[in-house]
């Protein structure tokens, strides 16, 4: 149950705190006093969007304290969120900035707005006049029937939705495969032909770069050889030597220079200059080094392989690889060299396996679809059986409630019609039917029921569903003027049924009917006042508890608009007596 609600900055409400008692609480006040703002604030706390009006440019702050029973189903979710409880009390908080940004907390833990709504929805159920339209929805009626049948039926309905989604996914996949089967065959053929070319060519990683370097080397051998010949002549001469009339090379000339110096004699050279002896040694060393270099050069030149056949092979291989890369690039623009070609081939080989297996996949999918259809049909059949069992019991329960809501002879019925095909919600069309009084036709609830009748059907459904709730998970019910369009004895009976509902749940009712408010265990009034601030007049709402004589005055005001009317006060006393002595049977 909700024990405390603080609302700040919502509509006419500047800052007010409401303390709620267990049982039945009536919330009354003059039209325009801000009663609905209480429900609006609570709706914001439960995740509703803020409607920005002329006074909704203020920052809003809403917080609520809820008492949770030890076995409440929400406790498991709170543990998952890391939310804290304070003596079995849970604090929900929502703050909205002037710019419209929202911050939410559950038990001290910051959470997304959807999580706040999830937790709040497990604690509070709000019914307003707009819910009368929702009650006309076939989807809402179907959910109400499933809820009445119990958690197992709700779980079964979830399984049907899941099975339908699985079947839909399988059908979508097989339709896509069949629609593109020819394209997949063509692509498999193209990729297969290219992969055959790759397999026959057998390119190696980095081969194109290796061949480029070898081609460049072979193309340069002749130029290098000619250059080496020139160097060889420069070092060794033309082969005829100095006495043969030819040119002597650098080696022979160095040797001749050394012999010329040595012929002068070491003593003679030393007598002229000590450096000459050192110069002879240097020339001897240089002669040996140049002679060795000439020999190495000769060996290097002899090792050069100018095989023209190998050069032709390299150029042909390069041409083959270039043509292959070009063909594949037409299919895959990312292929620009041999390494990317090999990467493409590896991935394409796997794709071809997948493409070639398309028809096998289609056959497998059809088998899975058959099995999924069977599973969906079985689950939908079980769900239909559960709904058929629950439909009669729900109709009897609502009929019993309507009889106590001043609709004697009214008949409520749950129509179940089989669908041609199983849908996500099962194999039935669920529709609520109502005969509001004897002699009237039995029509769909969405067609023939008045606003007042819808209000009473809604209340009857809640009372009927209440009997199927888990005791530790019963929510708080908020009814926002669902008694609109109702008066007289019907209003009294609504008050009695709300009081009966409040014996097993917390019920908070925003009402303009004294006949309803008289049955409340707690009575709160909303009033507005005008006060001046900084030269301007502001209208604000405030909430107070009315008790004893104040309560009879408030009921008299609601009855006649004149709180001091003796007739209205007398009528108010009568209503309070009815409320105090109301039959305690649900």
Looking at residue 132, its pLDDT comes to 58
Residue 580's closest CA among 559, 556, 552, 561?
552
Report how far residue 312's alpha carbon sits from residue 214's, in angstroms, rounded to the nearest whole number: 11
> Which residues are paired to 104 by β-bridges?
94, 111
Cβ burial 484-494 (10 Å sphere, 16+ → b, else e): bbbeeebbbbb
As a dihedral over the C-alpha atoms of residue 166, residue 169, residue 170, residue 176, rounded to 10 degrees, the angle is 180
Cβ burial 249-281 (10 Å sphere, 16+ → b, else e): bbbbebbebbeebeeeeeeebeeeeeeeeeebe
Q: pLDDT 10s digit of each residue in the chain, 586 long?
A: 899 999 888 877 888 888 888 899 999 888 777 777 888 888 888 888 877 654 555 788 999 999 888 878 788 889 999 999 988 889 999 999 888 888 999 999 999 999 998 888 888 877 765 565 667 788 889 988 998 998 899 999 999 999 999 999 999 999 988 888 888 888 889 999 999 999 999 999 999 999 999 888 888 887 888 888 888 888 887 655 555 555 678 888 888 888 888 888 877 877 888 788 788 888 888 888 888 888 888 888 777 776 778 889 999 999 999 999 999 999 999 999 999 999 999 999 998 888 888 888 899 999 999 999 999 999 999 999 999 999 999 999 999 888 878 788 889 999 999 999 999 999 999 999 999 888 889 998 877 677 777 778 888 888 887 766 555 555 788 888 777 767 778 788 888 888 888 888 889 998 888 999 999 999 998 887 766 555 565 666 778 888 888 898 888 888 887 767 888 888 988 898 888 876 444 4
Report how far residue 532's alpha carbon sits from residue 445's, in angstroms, rounded to the nearest whole number: 50
Show Cβ contacts of residue 54 under 8 Å, excluding neighbours closer than 6 positions. none
Angle between helices 488-501 and 451-466 (to 10 degrees): 20
Show Cβ contacts of residue 517 under 8 Å, excluding neighbours closer than 6 positions. 26, 28, 495, 509, 511, 523, 554, 555, 558
Report how far residue 553's alpha carbon sits from residue 573's, in angstroms, rounded to the nearest whole number: 9
Entry field: residues in the chain: 586
DSSP string, 190-233: HHHHHHHHHHHH---TTHHHHHHHHHHHHHHHHHHHHHHHHHHH
Angle between helices 338-356 and 181-201 (to 10 degrees): 140
Global confidence as pTM = 0.60
Looking at residue 582, its pLDDT comes to 64
Report how far residue 433's alpha carbon sits from residue 395's, in angstroms, rounded to the nearest whole number: 9
Looking at residue 470, its pLDDT comes to 56
Q: How many CB atoms lie within 10 A of CB 390?
A: 20
Looking at residue 54, its pLDDT comes to 46
Q: Is the distance from CB of 89 to CB of 67 less than 8 angstroms?
A: yes
Angle between helices 113-121 and 74-81 (to 10 degrees): 160
Q: Alpha helices of 404-487 — where are they, by DSSP H?
A: 445-448, 451-466
Q: Is the distance from CB of 444 to CB of 432 less than 8 angstroms?
A: yes
Three-state secondary structure along 256-306?
HHHHHHHHCCHHHHHHHCHHHHHHHHHHHHHHHHHHHHHHHHHHHHHHCCC
Tokens, residue 142 = 């179907």
Q: Is the distance from CB of 524 to CB of 546 less than 8 angstroms?
A: yes
Bridging pattern class, strands 476-480 and 506-510: parallel
Looking at residue 241, its pLDDT comes to 52
Tokens, residue 34 = 């801000």
Residue 136's closest CA among 413, 375, 354, 457?
457
Looking at residue 232, its pLDDT comes to 81
Q: 3-class SS at 251?
A: helix
Report how far residue 564's alpha carbon sits from residue 73's, in angstroms, rounded to the nearest whole number: 49
Query: How far is residue 289 CA from its own chain's centroid?
Result: 81
Q: Is the distance from CB of 575 to CB of 516 less than 8 angstroms?
A: no
Phi-psi region for residue 436, left (φ > 0), alpha (ψ -120 to 50) or beta? Answer: alpha
Angle between helices 308-331 and 338-356 (to 10 degrees): 50
């Amino acid at each position: 149950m909700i024990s405390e609600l603080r609302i700040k900055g919502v509509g006419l409400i500047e800052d007010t705190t409401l303390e709620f008692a267990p049982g039945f609480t009536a919330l009354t006040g003059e039209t325009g006093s801000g009663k609905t703002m209480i429900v609006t604030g609570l709706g914001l706390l439960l995740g509703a969007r803020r409607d920005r009006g002329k006074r909704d440019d203020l920052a809003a702050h809403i917080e609520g304290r809820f008492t949770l029973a030890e076995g409440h189903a929400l406790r498991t979710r709170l543990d998952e969120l890391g939310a804290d409880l304070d003596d079995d009390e849970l604090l929900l908080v929502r703050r909205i900035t002037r710019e419209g940004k929202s911050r939410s907390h559950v038990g001290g833990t910051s959470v997304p707005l959807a999580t706040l709504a999830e937790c709040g929805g497990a604690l509070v159920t709000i019914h307003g006049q707009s819910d009368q339209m929702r009650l006309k929805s076939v989807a809402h009626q179907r959910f109400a029937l499933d809820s009445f049948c119990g958690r197992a039926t709700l779980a079964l309905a979830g399984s049907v939705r899941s099975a339908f989604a699985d079947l839909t996914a399988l059908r979508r996949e097989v339709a896509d495969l069949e629609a593109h089967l020819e394209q997949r065959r063509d692509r498999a053929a193209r990729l297969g032909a290219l992969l055959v070319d790759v397999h026959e060519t057998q390119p190696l990683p980095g081969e194109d770069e290796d061949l480029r370097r070898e081609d460049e080397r072979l193309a340069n051998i002749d130029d290098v050889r000619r250059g080496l010949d020139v160097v060889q002549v420069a070092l060794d001469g033309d082969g005829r030597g100095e006495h043969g009339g030819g040119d002597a090379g650098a080696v022979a000339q160095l040797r001749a220079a050394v012999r010329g110096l040595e012929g002068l004699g070491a003593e003679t050279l030393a007598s002229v200059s000590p450096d000459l002896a050192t110069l002879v040694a240097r020339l001897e060393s240089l002669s040996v080094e140049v002679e060795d270099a000439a020999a190495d050069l000769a060996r290097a030149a002899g090792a050069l392989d100018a095989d023209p056949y190998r050069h032709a092979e390299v150029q042909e291989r390069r041409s083959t690889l270039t043509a292959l890369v070009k063909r594949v690039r037409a299919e895959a623009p990312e292929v620009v060299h041999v390494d990317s070609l090999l990467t493409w081939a590896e991935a394409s080989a796997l794709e071809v396996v997948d493409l070639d297996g398309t028809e096998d996949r289609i056959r497998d999918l059809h088998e899975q679809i058959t099995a999924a259809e069977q599973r969906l049909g079985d689950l939908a059949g079980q769900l239909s059986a559960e709904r058929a069992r629950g439909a009669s019991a729900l109709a009897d329960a609502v009929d019993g409630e309507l009889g106590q809501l001043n609709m004697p002879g009214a008949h409520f019925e749950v129509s179940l019609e089989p669908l041609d095909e199983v849908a996500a919600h099962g194999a039935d069309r669920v529709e609520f039917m109502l005969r509001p009084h004897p002699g009237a036709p039995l029509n769909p609830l969405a067609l023939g029921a008045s606003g007042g009748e819808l209000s009473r059907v809604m209340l009857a459904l809640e009372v009927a569903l209440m009997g199927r709730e888990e005791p530790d998970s019963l929510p708080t019910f908020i009814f926002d003027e669902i008694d609109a369009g109702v008066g007289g004895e019907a209003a009294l009976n609504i008050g009695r049924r709300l009081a009966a509902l409040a014996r097993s749940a917390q019920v908070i009712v925003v009402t303009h009917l004294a006949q309803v408010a008289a049955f409340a265990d707690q009575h709160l009034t909303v009033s507005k006042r005008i006060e001046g601030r900084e030269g301007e007049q502001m209208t604000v709402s405030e909430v107070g508890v009315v008790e004893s004589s104040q309560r009879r005055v408030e009921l008299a005001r609601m009855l006649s608009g004149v709180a001091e009317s003796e007739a209205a006060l007398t009528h108010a006393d009568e209503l309070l007596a009815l409320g105090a002595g109301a039959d305690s049977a649900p």
